[in-house]
Amino acid sequence: MNNTQTAYAFGQLGSAHCKTASSVYPPKGMVICAVQFLADNIPTVMRTEYNDGTIATDQSMSFSTEAAAHSAAEARQAISDAAANHTHTLSSANAAIKKGMAVWSNTEYLGADKNANLPATIVEHVDGTSIRFNRPITGSSTTLSFSSNTGVGGEDATGVKYPKGIIVYGRWTEVKPQADADGGVICYFGK
């Protein structure tokens, strides 16, 4: 098939229905890429593929019942000056802060001006405690979050009740719904 929409549409790579409190696992080399809820349900397990120790669970790309995705940045550091300019002083040097990282302030995405379509605030240069951004940052003693490939502000899915009919997307290696004799869930497989 040349059309990826057809190749990866729901069910094309397989699916499984579960209405008991049993775990669903994808075939070897696949993940559960979507879960459709046939009735209101609170899954007890939604384990992400990133829960293998190679990536911090709070920096993974998919949420789970075990940890939040996109909840914490790779580095957090305060700036100690209040000048509204591009160059600031960090409260202390932090080797985890690198050129090209996106910047958040108290989990607010800096530069997310929807009307002007401004780009994110990015680290242009860092040397010890001196740091320069691609746009001005204002605020005295503001704690900033720095990330190269994840967002900030996500929460885990423990105890979340998903309503009937909703489909959630992610990359899980195990999903275990609550028992539900008249509904359950459908787990769709993907690569």
Nearest to 110 by CA among 146, 83, 70: 146
Structure tokens at 15: 């699916």
Question: Do 169 and 118 fall into the same domain?
Answer: no
CA 24 from chain center: how many Å?
Answer: 22
Strands 75-78 and 143-147: antiparallel
In this structure, the answer to whether residues 117 and 162 fall within a common structural domain is no
Would you state the pLDDT for residue 132? 87
List beta partners, residue 17: 186
1: in domain: no
Residue of 174, 162, 137, 159 lying closest to 49 (CA atoms): 174
Domain residues for 169?
Answer: 13-70+157-190
Rg (CA), the chain: 21
Specify the pLDDT at position 109: 47
- Determine how many CB atoms are found less than 10 A away from the CB of residue 18: 21
Among 168, 169, 172, 167, CA closest to 30 = 172
Determine the 3-state secondary structure of 124 from DSSP: strand
pLDDT in tens, 83-103: 666 788 888 888 888 888 877
* Mean pLDDT, residues 132-161: 71
Domain-embedded: residue 5: no
Q: 55 and 29 in one domain?
A: yes
* Residue 111, pLDDT above cutoff 70: no
As a whole number of angstroms, the distance between CA 137 and CA 90 comes to 13
CB contact at 8 A, 125 and 131: yes
Q: Which pair of structure tokens corresponds to residue 84?
A: 């509204």
| 163 and 100 assigned to the same domain | no
Number of domains into which the chain is organized: 2
Residues 165 and 1 sit within 8 Å (Cβ to Cβ): no
What is the Cα–Cα distance from 132 to 97, expressed in whole angstroms? Answer: 11
Do 139 and 99 fall within a single domain? yes
Tell me which of 41 and 155 has the higher pLDDT. 41
Please name the helix (run of DSSP H) or strand (run of DSSP E) that holds residue 146, with its range, or none: strand 143-147
pTM of the predicted structure, to 2 decimals = 0.58
Same domain, yes or no: 61 and 104: no
The answer on pLDDT for 136 being more than 50 is yes
* Residue 84 placed within a domain: yes
- Is position 7 within any domain? no
Question: Tens digit of pLDDT for each residue in 20-70?
Answer: 999 999 999 898 989 999 999 999 888 887 645 444 445 456 666 666 555
Asked if residue 50 belongs to a domain, the reply is yes
